Amino acid sequence: MQINIPGRESLTLTHLVLDFNGTIALDGLILPSVREKLEELNPLLKIHVLTADSNGSAATECEGFPVELHVIGKDNQREEKRKFISQLEQGVAVIGNGVNDELMFREADLSIAVIGKEGCATVTLMSSDIVVTDIIDGLDLLINHHRLIPTLRN
């Protein structure tokens, strides 16, 4: 996915990394319409769900979705998420909301913070490129990536 933003280097995105709880799920359950949006993005980006799986439901909830699920440990989650991003090839977009997402936001090429029903950690919010109030809006920014231009242009 190529995104040309005036006043900035163009972005070539190949990966999308999503946090699970608070981002694409609430209380361990995938939010409505997320599947449809991920299916739209699947031909454009390799999609990863990166989670500590606090509710123990990520594997069941992501079954049949066009995503690769990666469960991280309970300790040093911020560093684990950062390391995961750094091991992907260039062109990574991330969407999340928690404190443990902050370092991956700093590592990614494009970061979108979601202020949903769980809120968003301030440190992650301050590390983001864009802030949305709903995961569907965040995913739509990637599907209709011309929408990124007014927000990100210099």
pLDDT digits (tens, 9 = 90+) for 16-32: 999 999 999 999 999 99
What is the pLDDT, as a whole number, of residue 49? 97
Cα atoms in the 13 Å half-sphere on the side-chain side of 29: 4
pLDDT at 75: 87
- Top CATH class, 11-152: alpha beta
Structure tokens at 105: 């936001």
Neighbours of 15 (CB within 10 A): 20
Query: pLDDT tens digits for 69-115?
Result: 999 988 899 999 999 999 998 899 999 999 999 999 999 999 999 99
Q: What's the pLDDT at 35?
A: 95
